[in-house]
Amino acid sequence: MAASHGPSSLLLVAFASLMLLCPVPRAGAAEHVVGDVAFGWDSGINYATWAQEHTFAVGDVLVFQYVNTQHNAYEVTESTYRSCDTGGGGNGVRVKYTSGYDRVVLAEAREYWFICDFPGHCLGGMKVAVNVSTGAGGGVGLPPNVPLTPNSSAAPPAGGCRGWMAWGLPLGVLVFMNWAR
């Protein structure tokens, strides 16, 4: 056969493509309940400490739980976060969350600032700044306290990727056999 290395190089290309299609395994988007407990968005909680204890990646979700007649959760600019002065609700406010169960998708790699705009609450410390890093391959890596358990979770959480492999592999073999004929 003249082009004996044809099929194998084709296979190589197929596998290389699959590898490109497979993202670096990453734990799925995390949900962070602000304050870590039910109704954890409240007065008297140190959210600077809370934010330090968590790692936020693009795609993660912040969940603000609170009594919505007593609190709200406004996403604001940094200066409004620092001043706590929204000027009645319009100054430096990006998004107003008021449901009492607000799921905020952290879609961008940047810093986010949230305050409660009820009188005095922000000044009393009801404010949180969250620094969102890029996800896989962003250079930030796993939070330091993620336990490495080699036996229990041997399978990486990459079902989509394995799905590609599942049909990609037989397809590759089929193509190979066709060429080898």
**In 3-state terms, what secondary structure has residue 168?**
helix
116 binds Cu ion per the rule CB under 5 A: yes
Q: How far is the CB of 81 from Cu ion (least distance, A)?
A: 14
Strands 127-133 and 56-57: parallel
Binders of Cu ion in range 29-88 (CB under 5 A): 71
Q: How far is the CB of 127 from Cu ion (least distance, A)?
A: 10
Select from 129, 95, 99, 106 the least CA-distant residue to 31: 106
Position among 121, 130, 132, 168 found at the interface with Cu ion (CB under 5 A): 121
Q: Which two tokens stand for residue 102?
A: 């607000």
Spell out the alpha helix ranges (H) of 22-106: 47-52, 78-83
Q: Between residues 56 and 97, which has the closer beta carbon with respect to Cu ion?
A: 97
127 binds Cu ion per the rule CB under 5 A: no
**Site residues for Cu ion per CB under 5 A:** 71, 116, 118, 121, 126
